[in-house]
Amino acid sequence: MVKIAAILFGISTMLCASTAGERLEESALVLKEIMGTSDRSIPQDLLDKAHCIIVVPGMKKGAFIVGAKYGRGFMSCRKGHVGWSAPAGVRMEGGSFGFQIGGSETDVIMLVLNETGAEKLMRSKFTLGGDASVAAGPVGRTTSAETDALMRAEILSWSRTRGVFAGISLKGATMRPDKEVNSELYGKDLNNKEIIQSAEVPKAGSPLIAELNKYSSRK
């Protein structure tokens, strides 16, 4: 038990050491690499339908392992016809996502497919698979809009670990705003709803929002 506690403490320390700007840069790179893979990416038609997206980048050298019950990333939502909102910080905790502790890098992407799911993202805390239905997302450049996963789930999720990109269910994990990151990015205490609705995109968030706009064709 002491050894496990020490490992988790070390992971937590490394996570806290990275800045919001570094995680935003990593998030933009993750999205670019995944969408740049012609036959193993998020289906374009699902991205076009998404109300919000969540990107939780994997930290180098095992600093972020979802199996260790802790991850930090960002969410952005569509703002009418003007593109994507400023990024708001999120934390994912708990659950067992099936990844091995010790992996070099794990990335998670989620698409929120309807307005109800988007509203739940604004809560102080919610549980995937409990407060919001979640399912493993399909992989490929295109997919049918009538798939069972799309018809039932509010959120579709994918992971990339050791170069393998696939849909994965994140049931049991909780998500909440990352107040520390939001204060770092915006210089004041803003909740995620305030950021999504009215905040200007900070310089550090511009690459991620540019990538989202690049791969989003919905008008």
When mean pLDDT is compared over 36-40, 42-46, 194-198, the highest value belongs to 194-198
Q: If 0-12 CB within 10 Å is exposed, 13-18 middle and 19+ buried, where does residue 66 land? A: buried
Short-list 137, 141, 125, 143, CA closest to 170: 137
Phi-psi region of 162 (alpha: psi -120 to 50; beta: other; left: phi over 0): left
Give the chain's domain count. Answer: 1
Measured distance CA(97)–CA(56) in Å, rounded: 13
Q: What mean pLDDT, rounded, does the chain reach?
A: 79
Q: Are 131 and 112 in contact (CB under 8 A)?
A: no
Range of the domain at 25: 2-214
> What is the model's pTM?
0.82
182/71 Cα distance (integer angstroms): 15
pLDDT of 100 above 50: no
Helix (H, G, I), strand (E, B) or coil at 57: coil
> Does a structural domain hold residue 192?
yes
Long-range Cβ pairs for the range 76-82 (8 Å, 24+): 76/52, 76/196, 76/208, 76/209, 76/212, 77/51, 77/52, 77/53, 77/112, 77/118, 77/121, 77/196, 78/50, 78/51, 78/52, 78/218, 79/196, 81/219
Residue range 131-173, pLDDT digits in tens = 778 888 888 766 655 555 556 788 999 988 877 888 887 888 8
pLDDT at 209 over 80: yes
Task: List the one residue out of 82, 89, 81 whose CA is nearest residue 21.
Answer: 89
- Check pLDDT > 90 for residue 41: no
219 belongs to a structural domain: no
pLDDT of residue 162: 75
Q: What is the pLDDT of residues 42-95, one digit of tens each?
A: 988 889 889 999 999 974 434 444 444 578 999 999 987 778 999 999 998 765
